[in-house]
């Protein structure tokens, strides 16, 4: 078996893409999308018709409603090609508004259900701010399952577990990026590789904590920069991987060894339970410069791409051909 097939023995492999025509080559269980991936996809000839059709069918609707139609259309196409779930993201501009996040999640789920797709096949993707986590708490209670994204700090993971969130997406590569930049010329790539990678260490800590205390929230490592990061997390509940790295895994000849194991985590006596209220959560997040910076940066980037998608829809709507 190639490394991708070996990895699937320990970990659920998820494709991180809006380019659903690539999915068949990798046979992932689930798939994730985000505003940046959807924006990139709809500007390609193969996928532009999905945007045009949504605009034509809902020309008089508010832009945010048309955006949700586009997101769900992509989700439906993806679900036709995979056996599992798709993650569809709430507008990042709502990341600090619990009520608005819940309302947008309701609308996304309603669109899926109108298309005959059950809740068990959809994860609503929400930024792991305090407000986003509280929105997820409400949604999970209603049977709408969530994927909390832009997760960089241990306090975010603990709060998500306490809220009963179905799945979290800690961002391995972006943590690595921050530490590499902060170290500058002192960065030692070889010494910080594999299990010593700061992003890998973050996910391993969260995984161990969840397994130690039987927290059912699924851990899905995300945002990878290289194969070493992926292989160092073999055994994680899920890993969401770009098509480029999925192809690299298929072509590699590196043996895959399980690195994360629930039995080992449960036996670890050094892991202790913690909890956070709003004040202590905000303090812990603020104390983590990396997490504070990367969370803010991620929200800004997704919000900017959401604005670009809005503008693209407005341009299509103004066109007589739309």
Catalytic residues: 125
Residue with tokens 């700090």: 153
Rounded Cα distance between 226 and 210, Å, is 25
- What is the CB neighbour count within 10 angstroms for residue 21? 14
The candidate with the shortest Cα–Cα distance to 236, out of 1, 11, 6, is: 11
Backbone phi and psi for residue 51, each to the nearest 5 degrees, phi listed first: -70, -45
Rounded Cα distance between 155 and 187, Å, is 26
Cβ-Cβ contacts under 8 Å for 98 (sequence gap 6 or more): 131, 132, 134, 135, 138
Helical axes 172-183 vs 289-318, angle rounded to 10°: 120
Tokens for 11?
């970990």
Rounded Cα distance between 285 and 67, Å, is 31
Rounded Cα distance between 66 and 296, Å, is 26
């Amino acid at each position: 078996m190639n490394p991708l097939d070996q990895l699937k023995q320990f970990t659920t492999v998820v494709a991180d893409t809006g380019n659903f025509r690539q999915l068949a080559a990798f046979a992932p269980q689930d798939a994730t999308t985000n505003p940046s991936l959807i924006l990139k996809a709809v500007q390609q000839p193969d996928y532009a018709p999905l945007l045009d059709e949504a605009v034509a069918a809902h020309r008089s609707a508010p832009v945010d409603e048309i955006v949700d139609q586009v997101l769900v259309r992509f989700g439906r196409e993806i679900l036709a090609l995979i056996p599992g779930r798709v993650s569809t993201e709430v507008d990042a501009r709502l990341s600090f508004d619990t009520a608005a996040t819940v309302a947008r999640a309701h609308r996304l789920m309603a669109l899926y259900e109108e298309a005959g797709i059950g809740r068990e096949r959809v994860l609503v993707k929400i930024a792991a701010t305090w407000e986003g986590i509280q929105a997820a708490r409400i949604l999970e209670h209603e049977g709408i399952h969530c994927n909390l994204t832009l997760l960089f700090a241990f306090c975010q993971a603990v709060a998500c577990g306490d809220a009963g969130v179905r799945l979290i997406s800690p961002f391995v590569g972006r943590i690595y990026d921050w530490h590499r930049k902060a170290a500058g010329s002192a960065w030692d790539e070889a010494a910080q590789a594999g299990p010593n990678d700061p992003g890998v260490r973050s996910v391993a800590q969260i995984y161990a904590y969840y397994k130690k205390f039987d927290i059912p929230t699924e851990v899905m490592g995300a945002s990878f920069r290289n194969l070493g990061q992926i292989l160092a997390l073999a055994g994680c509940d899920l890993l969401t991987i770009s098509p480029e790295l999925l192809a690299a895994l298929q072509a590699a000849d590196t043996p895959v060894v399980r690195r994360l194991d629930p039995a080992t985590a449960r036996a670890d006596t050094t892991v202790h339970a913690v909890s956070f209220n709003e004040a202590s959560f905000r303090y812990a997040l603020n104390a983590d410069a990396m997490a504070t910076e990367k969370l803010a940066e991620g929200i800004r980037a997704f919000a900017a791409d959401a604005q670009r998608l809005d503008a693209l829809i407005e341009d299509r709507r103004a066109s007589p051909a739309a």
